[in-house]
Structure 1
Amino acid sequence: MGNLPAGGTRFVGRERESREATAALRRGRLLTLTGDPGVGKTRLALRIAGRAQRSFPDGVWFVELAPVRDAELLVAAVAEALEIYEASLGTRQDSARSLLELLVDHLADKRMLLILDNCEHLLDACARLANILLRAGRNLHIMTTSRQTLGVVGEQVLPVRPLPMPDPEKTPSLAAVSGSDAVRLFADRAATASRGFRVTEANQGAVLRLCHRLEGNPLAIELAAVRVRAMSVDRVLWRLDDYFGLLTEGSSTHLPPLQAPRTAIDWSSGLCSPVQRTLWRRLAVFEGGFDLDDAEAVCTGDGIATDDVLDILTDLIDMSIVVREPPDRLCRYRLPEMIREYGQEMLARSHEETRVRDRHRDHYFAMAERAMTEFMTPRQALWLSRLRREHPNLRTAADHALAAPGEDTLAVRIATDLGRYCITRGLLSEGRHWLDRALEHHRASGHARADALWVAGRLGILQGDTAAALDLLDQCQDLAELIGYPLAGRRAVQCAGLAALFEGRFADAQALMTRALESSRAADDADGQWLTLFHLSILHSALGDHEAALACAERSLAISREHGAAFSEAHALWATAIATWQLGDAAGARPLLRAALDLKHTLGDRWGMTFCLESLAWATTDADAEAAARLLGAADSMWRSIGSSVDRLHGLAESHRWCEGVLRGTLGPDRFGQAFAEGAALPLDAAVALGLGRTAHAGS
């Protein structure tokens, strides 16, 4: 369990630090790896975490903080990495809790290792959060990487120093040179760059002197190692010395320090062509990575043609300035953080910073706009996946838009699209963050403001802040009527109906939802129709009218399938299954729930998978009590993994209690407890397999 990123290049050395860190995590619960830039703190943290996984049954979770520039989004970033969903079905007491409270509750009973990577630019916020979380979770361990310590009571500090190597002045043996961590790293990366490279009697002196020039800094060594593709080690060493005006015959012990890796990056920049440096500084605008299409959209013009980007990007990869992410079905790239910082400095000194940042903003705004426009299409799932991948870049684009003067309408529109995406991911606090900033500080009017108002209202409803949400929705309806924008008016009415449902005002909810549905039909608004029908199904179930609930759910499902919208279809399948089960047809509900679970698994929707596993337990109770108990255990584990509980969700707790009571009576306390525990112990994919009927215990 966890989310450790896949490894890239082979890890070399650091055995002593790995042992010391493991011992420190046994002694205490907070460990900070400190050291100079480029010294390998993140790689070491991942190495330690990978070896420690068995000690943490609730997982090892990695939070990359380099792309998070706003301290107010720190908690949201941690919650997102842990896949904690802020969502409710209408219980104000729980939905109104802050995201920090949800995070604290989630971690309170977890035996988990949480890694906060690159804390230095959020030092105070990270220190406060670590202190709060460690007080709340007695079995929680936190490891941070930072150029500075957090200063929290109980913090253990492990300095990550340059890689060790022998003194070249003492003419060490080939075995001593080849066995040192710094030389091993150089040899490994050089062999990747130039197949067949190895350290020999002939080149060992040059390799060792080069590693000394670079102070044993891993990033600097890697930047130098790739140069053996084009020249000998002696030549690399000579070029490095020449760059700093040093005499190659001088003793290395008398050379001034090069302050690696900054020097190595500076040297690498000097070896780049002007067009390579231009692309480097433009690529530095991306947060969290990019693909070729992104680079072509943002970085072309003024000396770089679209057709040239791939060739120049390949050159930068060959120089280790750009890193290709570990291979998967997507091809993405990133700049190592210090190299990215250097690129941003180059960008800030250039005449083109504003233009490049504007192009980045416009590219991701266009992406978000298109995703929302094509929401009810067969591309729905692909767009949601892409927005999830590009979330750091979307944040950066929104922040730039909100900070720029004279861009009110654009700022509000991008905050609105980001807010809509956050709803699909259960990131309600972050969505409110962007919409609150946009509505408070920007004077956009017309369609842009109307859309922002209903999205902000929906976020408020889902968080349980109903009074503020209804005020926003009233403003939206007034504005929509004034400017003749019926779509925003429909959405506001739809959201007001949802608020009434959550508050138990069922007559108001039915009137509002019926009105929204009729206007959506008249406008041929498929997005409005499927979602309103989905909510009407829940409403009719709450009223006990299961026939009406089934009719609404089936219509919602038909619309979703007609448009090929997988995310919507999965929701509608679940609602159809629940209504079918409530009508007494458990056998008919099971295949619907399995289809929904399969879609949710494909979409990576843990919230939806949890709902489906819970509901499958209910629907399997009459067919296979042991399988149902396992499903209930699997669902219980999933509820906890997303920071929620079935007891917090209006309308589900009663069915859960009924199911558990029947199963205890059928199996007896011991057999029920054993089956429940077996289900709770299943990892995610195995739990889904159980729900899909792909194991011997899954029932009929």
Structure 2
Amino acid sequence: MRGIESTGPSAGDSSRPGRTPGNLPVELTTFHGRDGDLDRLRQCVSRSRLVTVTGTGGVGKSRLAVQGARQMQERFCDGVWLVDAATVRDPRLLEHSVVAALRLAETSGRAPRTTLLEQLARRRLLLVLDGFEHLVEESARLVRTLLGRLPGLRVLATGRRPLGIGGEQLFPLAPLAATDAAGLFADRAGAVQPGFALTPDNRDRVADLCRRLDGIPLALELAAGRLRTLSLPQMLERLDDRFALLTGGTRDAPAHHQTLRTAVGWSHELCSPRERLLWARLSVFAGAFDLEAAEYVCSGPELPADQVLDVLAQLLAQSVVTREDAPSGVRYRMLDTLRAYGAYWLAATGQTRRLRERHRDWYTGLVTWCELEWLSPRQEAVALRITDEFANLRAALEFAVDEDEDPRHGLYLAGTLWFCWVGCGRIREGRHWLERALEREAHEPPPGAVGAAGDGGVRLRALGLAGYAAVLQGDTVAALAALHECREEAERTGDDRAAAYSLLRLGSLALISDDVRRAEELLAGGLARYEELGELNSHVLIGRVELALAVAFGGDLARAVELCEAVRRECVEHGELWARAYALYGLGFMAWSRGEAARAGALLREGLAISAGFQDLVATVLALELLARIAVGEGRAREAAVFQGAAQRLWPSVGMPLFGSRYFDVPHRECERLAREALGEPAYLEALREGAALDPEVVVDRALRPGDGGPAPVRRPQAGPSPAGDGASPRPYPFPGAGEAGYGRGLAS
């Protein structure tokens, strides 16, 4: 988030005992002054359902809003949730970003706005919409709709201009008062020059500096960073020159805008030519980035890759770039205002498109490598890396899908990210990108030949994945159309991988449609095609679990157990966790069908701990349903009803409850009947309501508790080695996989 140097555990993480739900970042620097502003902001939020903090860039809007929201957490039983709108470039993704920030599942065929309205209908929460100014119209429409339909919602927004909708309470934020400005400067100066403090000898100079920078926090922090190389008298002398040189604004521009431009421009002028060059080139990154990405994307004849680190360190020392420790490792970030300033200079040099192409190439290479590492012991590290890189992946997708001269780049990138869409709970957004890439390719044929890889594999891969996304969302018509087209074209062109994949996914559709015999036939056919290719990947493992379920639904439990046990062994051998969760669900279902309730519960909890860590809602809600049935059989009827209530709330985000399948519905109906009998109607309905009101993470942690012990932890993805395995960087390809084994692999791995 702009102005907040943090990506650590959420201050409002509901998975931590005693904490209110939410996702506010952990503060790494102290908050100075503004006590009166905080008091007034809390009062405004108490009186008005929409409060917008306005002010010039760098004045501290984001920091004030987050600090105020943190102090108001206890007022909102369903938490305080931050949406960083500044990183959303495409207006069409604003609602997706709100859904993701609120940790609502994205596997439903419904529009994201519908998901928000349905899932927040009974919640009482504060939404902090930060940095919306480049998406004013879209933000205003969304906020107006949400506030009009959700009585328990309040919105605290920050931007350089109002949203301009009815009921909006404006909160103009002025620069820091003299005392607070001096305190902020001294604090930040002490961080870069140990021992620095306000003294009788420097107090007047500090006051003069703060006054001439108009008390704008960003300007003060930049000035503090220069104490590494300049004394206070030197800064004041140079500030005189730079103000005169860099005012540059129109006469009718707000004074604070001119002041901020002066502060940023002054810092820019004090940089060396190589530092300015790197500053401009770093502006192509969205959100945080790592050193390897900066070395590849930003290097060139004027700045060799092996010198990027030293120049980056200088920008870090000057507070142009900040460092943060993310789950996947050390990352760097530029404040939004500084990024925009760098982008201006990059455009002035005419290098914007070239840098965006290099950015696309780097993230295409990263995604390709991550896909290769997905079926490995590094799967958790891949999931973490993809999560940390998602803002940059979106930026790469936006360029590849909308602006790239060759539409195959977008097809390749969207298709290769299947493990993010399916494995990490982003089905809805994945389908969005896949369909956009397919639509553009259909209207703009690729220019010339790609080489040995050809075009068909890339397109069919994206087409098959779009069909599978539709299957998971319950969109049968779209799923059938995409998968049949994929299969027919694959057979016509001899693309065996696409043919195998389409058979598997048609089998998935038949399974949830209760056509068990047809499902078994299609799944077995697809698996046989993969076996002929000698290929093992996560699609194959999931297909085998689905085949086992089809066999179990057909009555052959012994064979079904054998199939699932084989999948579990393969997963353990290869370090595959995501598919293992589904194998454990299958084994749990079969154990329950055999009357082995204790074993079934242990298997389901083991799988649930994995799937919840990956944020895979499909596997999560299936496990909750069956754990509810086991609980009622063990005499824990109220707990069973709570789990059913939680599942009832989650199913609309997945699609049709229990896929509309009578086979998946059997334990649900039995659980409901037994719980009603044990509790009575009023108590049963009360427990349902309790479960529906619980945060999903709370429900999962509750479901993982063994009967006589403490909570069993969710298996959260753990940081590990680089997805490149031995510490090597992922290889970026100038064109996705041209001449590489990773390209044209169709629907492999």
- Please say whether Structure 1 and Structure 2 have the same fold, judged by a TM-score greater than 0.5: yes
In 2: Cα distance, 1:499 partner to 1:222 partner = 57
CA contact (8 A) 2:56 2:257 kept: no
Match of residue 120, structure 2, among 102, 107, 125: 107
Shift in Å at residue 78 of structure 1? Answer: 1.0
Between 1:660-669 and 1:58-67, the stretch displaced more is 660-669
Shift in Å at residue 567 of structure 1? Answer: 1.2
CA contact (8 A) 1:411 1:438 kept: yes
Tell me if 1:218 matches 2:217: yes
Partner of 1:206: 205
CA contact (8 A) 1:394 1:418 kept: no
Counterparts of 1:604-615 in structure 2 under 5 Å?
Answer: 604-605=615-616, 608-615=619-626
In 2: Cα distance, 1:301 partner to 1:692 partner = 52
Distance 1:574 1:663, change over 3 A: same
Partner of 1:355: 354
Distance 1:216 1:641, change over 3 A: farther
In 1: Cα distance, 2:522 partner to 2:613 partner = 34
Counterpart AA for 1:484: G
- Count of residue pairs brought into register by the alignment: 668
Distance 1:326 1:219, change over 3 A: farther
CA contact (8 A) 2:628 2:643 kept: no
Partner of 1:193: 192
In 1: Cα distance, 2:332 partner to 2:555 partner = 53
Partner of 1:317: 316
3-state SS of 1:304 partner? coil
Counterpart AA for 1:199: L
In 2: Cα distance, 1:670 partner to 1:157 partner = 46
Partner of 1:150: 163
Match of residue 649, structure 1, among 655, 658, 668: 658
- 1:69-122 C-alpha deviation (Å, 9 max, x unpaired): 1111111111111222233xxxxxxx5432321221011111111111111111
Counterpart AA for 1:82: L
Match of residue 590, structure 1, among 592, 601, 607: 601
3-state SS of 1:163 partner? coil
3-state SS of 1:621 partner? helix
Match of residue 510, structure 2, among 500, 511, 514: 500
Counterparts of 1:272-287 in structure 2 under 5 Å?
Answer: 272-287=271-286
Partner of 2:703: 691
Counterpart AA for 1:584: G
Partner of 2:719: none
Between 1:545-554 and 1:155-164, the stretch displaced more is 545-554
In 1: Cα distance, 2:647 partner to 2:320 partner = 40
Partner of 1:466: 476
Counterpart AA for 1:42: S
In 2: Cα distance, 1:578 partner to 1:456 partner = 29
CA contact (8 A) 1:281 1:346 kept: yes
CA contact (8 A) 1:6 1:326 kept: no
Partner of 2:52: 32
Counterpart AA for 1:244: F
In 2: Cα distance, 1:574 partner to 1:147 partner = 50
CA contact (8 A) 2:281 2:298 kept: yes
Match of residue 42, structure 1, among 62, 86, 89: 62
Shift in Å at residue 12 of structure 1? Answer: 1.0
Shift in Å at residue 597 of structure 1? Answer: 2.6
In 2: Cα distance, 1:458 partner to 1:688 partner = 26
Shift in Å at residue 326 of structure 1? Answer: 5.4
3-state SS of 2:258 partner? coil
3-state SS of 1:537 partner? helix
Counterpart AA for 1:582: S
Shift in Å at residue 330 of structure 1? Answer: 2.2
Partner of 2:544: 533
Which protein, 1 or 2, shows the higher relative CO under an 8 Å CA cutoff with sep ≥ 6? 2
Tell me if 1:437 matches 2:436: yes
Counterparts of 1:241-260 in structure 2 under 5 Å?
Answer: 241-245=240-244, 259-260=258-259
Partner of 2:298: 299
Between 1:666-675 and 1:647-656, the stretch displaced more is 666-675
Counterpart AA for 1:139: G
Partner of 1:447: 457
Q: CA RMSD in A?
A: 2.8
CA contact (8 A) 1:473 1:492 kept: yes
Between 1:2-11 and 1:533-542, the stretch displaced more is 533-542
In 2: Cα distance, 1:525 partner to 1:403 partner = 33
CA contact (8 A) 1:419 1:432 kept: no
Shift in Å at residue 507 of structure 1? Answer: 3.1
Shift in Å at residue 393 of structure 1? Answer: 0.8
Shift in Å at residue 164 of structure 1? Answer: 1.6
Shift in Å at residue 233 of structure 1? Answer: 2.1
- 1:631-652 C-alpha deviation (Å, 9 max, x unpaired): 6526744764796489822355
Between 1:489-498 and 1:660-669, the stretch displaced more is 660-669
Tell me if 1:509 matches 2:519: yes
Between 1:39-48 and 1:513-522, the stretch displaced more is 513-522
Shift in Å at residue 671 of structure 1? Answer: 7.9
Partner of 2:269: 270
Partner of 1:92: none
3-state SS of 2:329 partner? coil
Identity %: 37
TM-score normalised according to structure 1 size: 0.89
Partner of 2:397: 398
3-state SS of 1:339 partner? helix
In 1: Cα distance, 2:710 partner to 2:334 partner = 46
3-state SS of 1:231 partner? coil
3-state SS of 1:9 partner? coil
CA contact (8 A) 2:210 2:220 kept: yes
Tell me if 1:662 matches 2:674: yes
In 2: Cα distance, 1:145 partner to 1:564 partner = 44
- 1:479-505 C-alpha deviation (Å, 9 max, x unpaired): 322332201111111112222233333
Shift in Å at residue 149 of structure 1? Answer: 0.9
Shift in Å at residue 43 of structure 1? Answer: 0.8
Between 1:573-582 and 1:224-233, the stretch displaced more is 224-233
Tell me if 1:346 matches 2:350: no
Tell me if 1:135 matches 2:134: no
In 1: Cα distance, 2:329 partner to 2:651 partner = 27
3-state SS of 1:3 partner? coil
Partner of 1:620: 631
Partner of 1:168: none
Between 1:425-434 and 1:652-661, the stretch displaced more is 652-661
Shift in Å at residue 666 of structure 1? Answer: 4.2
Match of residue 121, structure 1, among 122, 134, 141: 134
Shift in Å at residue 311 of structure 1? Answer: 2.1
Between 1:667-676 and 1:497-506, the stretch displaced more is 667-676
CA contact (8 A) 2:418 2:465 kept: yes
Shift in Å at residue 138 of structure 1? Answer: 0.8
Distance 1:37 1:638, change over 3 A: farther
- 1:126-178 C-alpha deviation (Å, 9 max, x unpaired): 1111111112211011111111111121111111111122xxxxxxxxxxxxx
- 1:623-670 C-alpha deviation (Å, 9 max, x unpaired): 4x34x6346526744764796489822355542343244345446678
Shift in Å at residue 240 of structure 1? Answer: 0.8
Counterpart AA for 1:228: L
Shift in Å at residue 521 of structure 1? Answer: 2.3
CA contact (8 A) 1:34 1:41 kept: yes
Distance 1:480 1:44, change over 3 A: same
3-state SS of 1:31 partner? strand
Shift in Å at residue 610 of structure 1? Answer: 4.5
In 1: Cα distance, 2:28 partner to 2:482 partner = 47
- 1:32-56 C-alpha deviation (Å, 9 max, x unpaired): 1111111111111111111111111
Shift in Å at residue 328 of structure 1? Answer: 5.9
In 1: Cα distance, 2:421 partner to 2:540 partner = 21
Between 1:496-505 and 1:559-568, the stretch displaced more is 496-505
In 2: Cα distance, 1:301 partner to 1:453 partner = 37
Shift in Å at residue 589 of structure 1? Answer: 1.1
In 2: Cα distance, 1:10 partner to 1:599 partner = 36
Shift in Å at residue 184 of structure 1? Answer: 1.3
- 1:572-602 C-alpha deviation (Å, 9 max, x unpaired): 1122112211221111112212221332344
In structure 2, the gaps of 5 or more residues are 1-20, 246-254, 447-454, 713-749
TM-score normalised according to structure 2 size: 0.83
In 2: Cα distance, 1:103 partner to 1:537 partner = 35
Between 1:629-638 and 1:202-211, the stretch displaced more is 629-638
Shift in Å at residue 354 of structure 1? Answer: 2.4
CA contact (8 A) 2:648 2:692 kept: no
